[in-house]
Amino acid sequence: MVVRVAVAGASGYAGGEVLRLLLAHPEVEIGALTANSNAGQPLGALQPHLVPLAGRVLEATTPEVLSGHDVVFLALPHGQSAAVAAQLGEEVLVVDMGADHRLQDSADWDKFYGAPHAGTWPYGLPELPGARAVLAGSKRIAVPGCYPTAVSLALFPAYAAQLAEPEAVIVAASGTSGAGKALKPNLLGSEVMGSMSPYGVGGGHRHTPEMVQNLSPVAGQRVSVSFTPTLAPMPRGILATCSAKALPGTTADAVRAAYEKAYADEPFVHLLPEGQWPATASVYGSNAVQIQVAYDEAAQRIIAISAIDNLTKGTAGGAVQSMNIALGLHESLGLSTIGVAP
């Protein structure tokens, strides 16, 4: 099988990462690469790490350029994906790595994004209960946000096992690539090296409703989420520290058992041995998720911590994994659980 793939938005971080993975995918042939302001430039000038594609010239993001592919990955700013997708045939698998089609509730979309809601696509987080069945054969996939990926995988086993109260408190640290290549002063190297800082505090981050959307069905009730993202001085990685008060009668053994059960058969999620904690360096460049969980008896809280690479499992790796499922390929093709460390 040869899957012919185009990438719209190939000059950004998500686009570059999906190309990095697709270059190692045995069934994929890389077709058109498009950009907006960078159209006309060779990819090697913008993504010098993608040596095999260095000579490829970026084209404009048009339906003509994107047509004739089996799969089109959209790595576009939110608000642009829907328009592009509408111009692609229904037989094409469209994988949107942006936010346009993630949320189910249009009111959430309006509140957090403030533009007309483009609709909801099958959600590309295969490890959530029931997700693979929806993804199989689908022609449209909404790739989850990087934070919701890390947080949902850290917390859903506790909710699935009915161990936790429906009020989650989350503090997550992200590498700077999560903010993209946007030229903002606070993203300059001089500003971020040596510094930790929060942003979007108090419920304002756009990934919050996506976490609520993922956890509530598992819990069987609405889960409220207090989410504080922080910017960390590293290019990649998310460390999500998630906790919720334990329901009465919870034990450390029950917590451990819930996580072991949830992830026993997952190829990319690794519950670490007791006593070992996740580190973002361990999943650098890989599609793996490292998780550990503890029960704090004094505070009566379950504390689950996950580490992912925000660009891989958090974006492009999750996208390729979902593509594999949608196309009926082996789920792990082109993906690795081996990080680049130290």
Active-site residue identified among 22, 88, 146, 255:
146
Taking the C-alpha atoms of residue 277 and residue 260, their distance in angstroms, rounded to an integer, is: 15
Task: Return the structure tokens found at 110.
Answer: 């309006």
Taking the C-alpha atoms of residue 75 and residue 77, their distance in angstroms, rounded to an integer, is: 7
Q: How far is the CB of 112 from its own copies (least distance, A)?
A: 11
**Nearest CB to its own copies, comparing residues 95 and 232:** 232
Residues 6+ apart with CB under 8 A from 20: 49, 50, 316
**Nearest CB to its own copies, comparing residues 1 and 298:** 298
Taking the C-alpha atoms of residue 246 and residue 158, their distance in angstroms, rounded to an integer, is: 9
Q: Is 146 a catalytic residue?
A: yes
Contact between residue 294 and residue 303 where contact means Cβ atoms under 8 Å apart: yes
**Nearest CB to its own copies, comparing residues 185 and 249:** 185
Task: Return the structure tokens found at 95.
Answer: 């994988």
Taking the C-alpha atoms of residue 314 and residue 269, their distance in angstroms, rounded to an integer, is: 13
**Nearest CB to its own copies, comparing residues 90 and 194:** 194
- Partners of 296 in the beta sheet? 301
Q: How far is the CB of 132 from its own copies (least distance, A)?
A: 21
Residue 185 buriedness (CB in 10 A; 0-12 / 13-18 / 19+): exposed
**Nearest CB to its own copies, comparing residues 139 and 181:** 181
Residues 6+ apart with CB under 8 A from 313: 149, 268, 283, 286, 287, 288, 289
Distance of CA 311 to the CA centre of its chain: 7
Taking the C-alpha atoms of residue 75 and residue 177, their distance in angstroms, rounded to an integer, is: 14
Q: Which residues are catalytic?
A: 146
